[in-house]
Structure 1
């Protein structure tokens, strides 16, 4: 029986002196170790999710942690029964998580970290505002009790949403505590730094993100409802980081629940109820043919490179 695939979600805010040199070195190492996934490199740091053998992943993580100011790179491990990525990509970006606020630096100011074991008490307190910083399609798959959904299509929309809703959220007088969370923690590094720059004093975020919470907090004690969307072919994970019940709509990249898979407008590889009316008959026909080719490739035991999830 083959060993399960090791999956590592990692990030680190650090000054990267030469992004191109680091990109080339990481690309070569990952390919030599049979690693797949996506790594994003920017002047502000590194972010991504990769998968492969336990030994190969360990070598890549060790290499990253050997870089200047990267010894404490945050890494969350899980496993998958099958390789959850089609290929390996190492890309240089302007930001490792795109917020579009150039003056925000999580290395200079960031919210207070809260361990998964202490998170329930914080978000259950009536004077705490809980904000889910993820995108709308992620929130639809699952979220924490009492969490506010900004209904953003991308993280870049978060600053505008907060500035628009600030008065309604915080009111007048002494501002309430604000607790924020995201998948693995990286978006909260920027969102908490942003709120502090906006003058909000008591800002907290879940250390290690939802993934660490689902790994460490027993289900019977959990305030999490649903599943957590992940940016790979597992689509979602649940408590204990076991693969969830959602599938990915290949047309719109949204997660589709078990109930959604039974909807009349859902067609595997072609459309879901959310995107059916966003596509033309011609587009659905093209997607149907692509799905047929992918299934033929799998049946022959060959790879058909499909669309790959981003790590935004």
Structure 2
């Protein structure tokens, strides 16, 4: 076994011993193929399952495994200066909610099919802290008195599990449909402070850059850390339902625990396993 970074003792969670990570970073990784080979070997050695997506624009991770193994894997990632500030959202479960390990090299770590949107190479929209969004929603406006709209950038089937109260939902089937939806509905956003959001932040980061380019005449933000970070920081105020996740847990409650009743409307069927994100 290879020599792994030394880490601090791991807090025990006897009832839910499996640690789940969701994290991403847009950063130039021209050597992504070589990185992927090393990550796959180490994750396999540590008994970690889930998905690691790599592209020249960055990394996108949703994985799970025993807590010590997960901490070791994260410490290894952070040894690369480009990934030293990775800060995954954590949740705990009884079992690993993934059946296999996948390490994939992609053109994009989240597919938008809009080559000019490169968060690793251009200025990003400002990130809005979850507690600030909760405060704005409670008071009904931003700090400048402008009306605030939350814009859901997720797929329609995900939105059916839950979302922010009063959020705009354009019922897109896949994220690459988002630019066309903006063009069709841009007047809904004009003159309002727009906060784009998604599950963990990756989609709304690209979405917010695209929105900024549309000259809507008002501020555009991305929700920092997405819904999962919002749950962690606020407990889910002004949010109804649960949050769909792409693993066997299916949905998480605002407590970040699997939600056994967190299902979409009656008659809805789950998307196929290869659903587009």
TM over 0.5: yes
Cα RMSD between the aligned structures? 2.2
Matched residue, 2:224: 207
Give the deviation of 1:55 after TM superposition.
Answer: 1.2
Matched residue, 1:217: 234
**Aligned counterpart for 2:168 among listed residues 124, 136, 148:** 148
Matched residue, 2:260: 245
Q: Secondary structure at the match of 1:109?
A: coil
Matched residue, 2:8: none
Q: Give aligned pairs, total.
A: 256
- Cα separation, partners in 2 of 1:156 and 1:148, compared to 1, 3 Å: same
Matched residue, 1:50: 63
Matched residue, 1:64: 77
Which runs of 5 or more residues in structure 1 are unaligned?
248-255, 261-272, 279-306
Q: What is the alpha-carbon distance in structure 2 between the residues aligned to residue 311 and residue 77 of structure 1?
A: 24
Give the deviation of 1:67 after TM superposition.
Answer: 2.1
- Cα separation, partners in 2 of 1:38 and 1:310, compared to 1, 3 Å: farther
- 8 Å contact from structure 1 (residues 231, 309) kept in 2: no
Asked which structure has the greater CA Rg, the reply is 1
Deviations 1:86-116 (A, max 9, x none): 0100000110001111011223222221111
- 8 Å contact from structure 2 (residues 16, 93) kept in 1: no
Compute the TM-score of the two structures, normalised by the length of structure 2: 0.86
Give the deviation of 1:53 after TM superposition.
Answer: 1.0
Q: What is the alpha-carbon distance in structure 1 between the residues aligned to residue 161 and residue 112 of structure 2?
A: 22
Matched residue, 2:136: 122
Matched residue, 1:270: none
Q: What is the alpha-carbon distance in structure 1 between the residues aligned to residue 16 and residue 192 of structure 2?
A: 47
Q: Which structure features the higher share of helix residues? A: 1
Compute the TM-score of the two structures, normalised by the length of structure 1: 0.76
Alignment of 1:98-109 (within 5 A): 98-107=111-120, 108-109=122-123
